[in-house]
Amino acid sequence: MRESRPRGARQVPRAINEVLPSPDVQEKSKKLGMAMRGSTPEAMTERMKSDIAKWAAVIEKAGIPKHD
């Protein structure tokens, strides 16, 4: 089966996942208070959907007005 995403779109996540474990990247991310970990585009899509639903509920419960 042929991948439907452009080649560059397939290469970026692969390249990111290759550099994330490097000590330099881990050290810099730790200094920023972040924990870096790799993923797949599909997993990131699911994470974004989950985060949007979670924060939408928080915003609604807090009564924060929506903006267009």
Mean pLDDT in order along the chain per 10 residues (68 residues): 66 88 92 88 91 96 90
Same domain, 15 and 26: yes
Same domain, 9 and 25: yes
Q: Count of domains in the chain?
A: 2
What pLDDT sits at residue 36? 83
What pLDDT sits at residue 67? 84
Give dist(CA 10, CA 4) in Å, integer. 9
What pLDDT sits at residue 1? 47
Pull the structure tokens for residue 53. Answer: 């639903």
Same domain, 7 and 33: yes
What pLDDT sits at residue 3? 61
Same domain, 30 and 2: yes
Same domain, 46 and 27: no
pTM of the model: 0.58
What pLDDT sits at residue 5? 67
Same domain, 50 and 24: no
Domain span including residue 17: 1-37
Give dist(CA 56, CA 62) in Å, integer. 10
